[in-house]
């Protein structure tokens, strides 16, 4: 059964549960709540997997969904780059081996100090303990069905790390296809992706394999990665139950070119200093999840996910050339295992009322070791001078939510919601005699939320929402755990409000503008890997998002987005007691924009051109060291269909060969008074040619 919704937005729901109860229920719920009052589709989106839970479009916040047509033909070294095509997305590009970068939005930066964005892969929470998004690297473009970005504080489905919103990546499920993609390009990049889908009767299988090797655009930056995944799902003949298993594994071995000083950058921006010659990273990740959707009655649906995430990371890194001490030369070893269970229940009481709720439990069993080494050129990493960390720690989260979708009239929709979370755990510090300490006691963290939308016509809707989310401190030591001398931390409560308008002034055009603000009570900048923590205190984030998409003609698509954002400290102090009031949160650009076009010359040939830009940002908490990191970049490409089976893609990245860098302020490892900016340059112009095979 195919259920179509909003043909103008080109979103197609393909329900693969058969012609019985669940397909009927999902179509009824989708028609009732998913009228896309605040959702914008980027291209054609085909969602090929059913679920008992409500879609994100029901949350009535700013939601963007980008389909496979904007993803699968792109050449990227890392999948987080794909999300940079979407409106308001800031990309933090470390580009140092396996620690490559990540996306963020709503004035939460990607430095790792304040990880405010939740990541989900096929509905499975996929952040590591610190909140970083390392599991995103497991997914390659050819296996992606769509990417969904939910902004704001009013989504009750998730708690931990869901401070400013969430990113959900859905991979291909079901269908019959045999797709391959073979790529060769700049920096001796070689990539193979293969995707297979086979569906027979009630049983579907999907497999994916990818291998990518590259010499890198800098000296000492060779990278080798591969990913393997499979999905197996079965639906009962009655069509009221679907169960399946998803499994993935990933390995990445990469050299790290190291950060550059200003002098080194000006001398040779693509060099790798001699001190970094032994820097490298080896990362292994696995993800296994069981999925169940059950139509209990015609008006009641249950969904469940049981998952296991594991990551082992062995990173050798040398930060600078300062010869005294051991702090700049470190080996960091992470070993994390997360086991979780998610349950949802959706009840269609009437055409006017739907109630949705659920609970989740996650248990983390983690270990972090950090060794320091004496200065050498290069640093040898053979005999550690000291052990900074050898910590084993648990982290347990129980959360529950409920929301009601109330539609008193055809034009109005009201969604009250409530979520609560609780955390327990302990850490054992092996370097201090196996002493064990409890996790901070945050109690129950309550998060009320409310959303309202008024839609007098399909061409116009105005929506508003208010909600609370939270930040707690993570890591293996203080302040996450109550080690001696550590005071109790309260959770930082983030209260957000948003007012938006979505309109379709013309048949082939849609636009959205949203004004938002988010206040935090006790924000903490926390970098667990370095043991660096700073209380920022009260902060305020606010901004304006605008986006527009249009098809001027059948052959030409245009899109543009612009986001203004700012993150300011209202009441906070440095560790030395200097006031930070009025200062901007570091590494947060004020302006983010994105533009693009696609021209279909003929049935066999099409061209695309897109650009993205970020403004400069302060790199230190006192805003005294100047602004860095801005860029304007353009990419372009062409797709040529040779036959029904074979096609070619040519992609040119950074067409105008612009120089740009990721920049951070190193006040950790230099002697006091010698702190300085450190740079990781972005790649220069690059070209890639891909052969696609679809059978």
Instruction: Give the count of alpha carbons within 13 A of 460, CB side only.
Output: 3
> pLDDT of 57-114, one tens digit each?
666 778 899 999 889 999 999 999 999 999 999 999 999 999 999 999 999 988 888 8
Output the pLDDT for position 36.
54
Q: Taking the chain, what is the end-to-end CA distance rounded to the nearest angstrom?
A: 24
> pLDDT of 324-346, one tens digit each?
788 899 999 999 999 999 999 99
DSSP string, 98-145: TB--EEE-TT--SSSSS--EEEEETTEE---TTS--GGGGG--GGGEE
Percent of the chain's residues with pLDDT above 70: 92
pLDDT at residue 575 tops 50: yes
Burial (CB < 10 A; 0-12, 13-18, 19+), residue 68, is: buried
The residue assigned the tokens 């309260």 is 490
**Nearest CA among 16, 7, 35, 90 for reference residue 613:** 90
Residue 28 DSSP code: H
Which structure tokens are listed for 677? 């900016």
Q: Where are the domains of the chain?
A: 177-694
**pTM, full prediction:** 0.93
Q: Are 551 and 536 in contact (CB under 8 A)?
A: no
Output the pLDDT for position 542.
98
More confidently predicted of 35 and 540: 540
> pLDDT of 475-500, one tens digit each?
999 999 999 999 898 999 999 999 99
Q: Are 472 and 423 in contact (CB under 8 A)?
A: yes
- For residues 155-169, give the mean pLDDT: 96
DSSP string, 642-674: -SSSEEEEEEEESTT----EEEEEE-SSSPTT-
CB atoms within 10 A of CB 695: 11
Which structure tokens are listed for 282? 């080896």
Report strand pairing: 686-694 vs 646-653. Answer: antiparallel
The H-or-E segment that residue 624 falls in is: none
Among the ranges given (34-48, 568-582, 649-663), the one the predictor scored with the smallest mean pLDDT: 34-48
Classified by CATH at the fold level, domain 177-694 comes out as Maltoporin; Chain A (2.40.170)
pLDDT at residue 190 tops 80: yes
pLDDT at residue 208 tops 50: yes
CB atoms within 10 A of CB 526: 25
Output the pLDDT for position 668.
86
pLDDT at residue 9 tops 60: no
Q: Which residues, at least 6 apart from 84, have a Cβ–Cβ distance to it below 8 Å?
A: 91, 103, 594, 612
Please give the mean pLDDT across all residues of the chain: 91
- For residues 311-321, give the mean pLDDT: 94
Output the pLDDT for position 37.
66
C-alpha to C-alpha distance for 251 and 209, rounded to whole angstroms: 12
Percent of the chain's residues with pLDDT above 90: 79
Q: Which residues, at least 6 apart from 206, have a Cβ–Cβ distance to it below 8 Å?
A: 171, 172, 173, 174, 175, 195, 196, 197, 198, 230, 231, 232
Which structure tokens are listed for 448? 């009320």
> pLDDT of 405-428, one tens digit each?
999 999 999 999 999 999 999 999
């Amino acid at each position: 059964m195919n259920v179509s919704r909003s043909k103008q937005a080109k979103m197609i729901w393909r329900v693969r549960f058969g012609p019985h109860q669940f397909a009927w229920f999902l179509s009824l719920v989708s028609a009732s709540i998913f009228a896309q009052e605040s959702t914008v589709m980027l291209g054609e989106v085909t969602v090929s997997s059913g679920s008992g839970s409500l879609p994100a479009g029901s949350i009535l916040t700013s939601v963007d969904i980008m389909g496979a047509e904007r993803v699968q033909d792109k050449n990227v070294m890392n999948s987080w780059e794909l999300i940079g095509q979407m409106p308001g997305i800031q990309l933090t590009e470390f580009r140092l081996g396996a620690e490559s970068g990540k996306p963020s939005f709503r004035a939460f930066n990607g430095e790792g100090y304040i990880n405010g964005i939740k990541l989900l892969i096929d509905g499975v929470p996929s952040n590591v303990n610190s909140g970083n998004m390392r599991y995103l690297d497991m997914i390659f473009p050819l296996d992606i069905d769509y990417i969904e970005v939910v902004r704001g504080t009013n989504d009750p489905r998730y708690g931990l790390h869901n401070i400013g919103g969430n990113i959900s990546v859905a991979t291909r499920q079901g269908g019959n296809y045999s797709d391959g993609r073979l790529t060769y390009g700049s920096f001796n990049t070689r990539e193979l992706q293969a995707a297979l889908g086979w569906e027979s009767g009630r049983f579907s299988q999907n497999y994916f394999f990818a291998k990518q090797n590259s010499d890198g655009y800098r000296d000492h930056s060779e990278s080798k990665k591969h990913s393997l995944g499979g999905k197996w799902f079965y639906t009962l003949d009655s069509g009221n139950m679907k169960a399946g298993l998803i499994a993935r594994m990933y390995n990445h071995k990469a050299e790290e070119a190291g950060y550059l000083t200003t002098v080194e950058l000006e001398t040779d921006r693509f060099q790798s200093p001699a001190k970094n010659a032994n820097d490298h990273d080896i990362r292994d990740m696995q993800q296994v999840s069981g999925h169940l959707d059950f139509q209990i009655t015609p008006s009641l649906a249950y969904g469940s996910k049981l998952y296991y995430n594991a990551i082992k990371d062995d990173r050798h890194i040398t930060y600078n050339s300062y010869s005294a001490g051991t702090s700049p030369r470190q080996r960091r070893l992470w070993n994390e295992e997360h086991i979780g269970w998610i349950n949802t229940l959706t009840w269609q009481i009437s055409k006017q009322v739907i109630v949705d709720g659920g609970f989740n439990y996650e248990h983390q069993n983690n270990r972090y070791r950090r060794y320091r080494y004496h200065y050498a050129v290069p640093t040898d990493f053979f005999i550690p001078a000291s052990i900074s960390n050898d910590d084993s720690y648990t982290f347990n989260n129980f959360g529950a939510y409920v929301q009601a979708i109330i539609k008193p009239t055809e034009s109005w929709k009201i969604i009250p919601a409530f979520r609560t979370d609780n955390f327990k755990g302990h850490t054992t510090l092996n370097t201090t005699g196996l002493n064990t300490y409890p996790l901070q006691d945050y109690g129950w963290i309550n998060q009320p939320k409310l959303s309202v939308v008024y839609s007098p016509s399909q061409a116009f809707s105005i929506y508003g929402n208010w909600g609370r989310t939270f930040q707690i401190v993570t890591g293996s030591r203080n302040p996450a755990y109550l080690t001696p001398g550590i005071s109790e931390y309260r959770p930082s409560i983030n209260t957000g409000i948003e007012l938006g308008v979505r309109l379709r002034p013309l048949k082939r055009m849609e636009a959205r503008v949203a004004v938002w603000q988010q206040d935090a009570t006790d924000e903490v900048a926390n970098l667990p890997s370095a043991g660096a923590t700073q209380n920022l205190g009260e902060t305020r984030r606010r901004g304006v998002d605008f986006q527009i998409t249009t098809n001027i003609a059948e052959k030409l698509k245009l899109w543009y987005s612009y986001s203004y954002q700012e993150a300011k400290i209202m009441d906070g102090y440095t560790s030395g007691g200097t006031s930070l009031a009025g200062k901007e949160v570091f590494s947060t650009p004020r302006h983010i924009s994105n533009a693009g076009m696609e021209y279909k010359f003929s049935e066999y040939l099409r061209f695309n051109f897109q650009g993205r830009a970020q403004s400069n940002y302060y790199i230190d908490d006192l805003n005294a060291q100047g602004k860095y990191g801005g860029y304007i970049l353009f990419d372009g490409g062409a797709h040529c269909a040779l036959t029904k089976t074979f096609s070619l893609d040519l992609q040119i990245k950074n067409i105008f060969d612009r120089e740009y860098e990721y920049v951070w302020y190193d006040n950790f490892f230099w002697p006091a008074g010698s702190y300085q900016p450190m740079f990781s340059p972005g790649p220069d112009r690059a070209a890639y040619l891909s052969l696609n095979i679809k059978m």
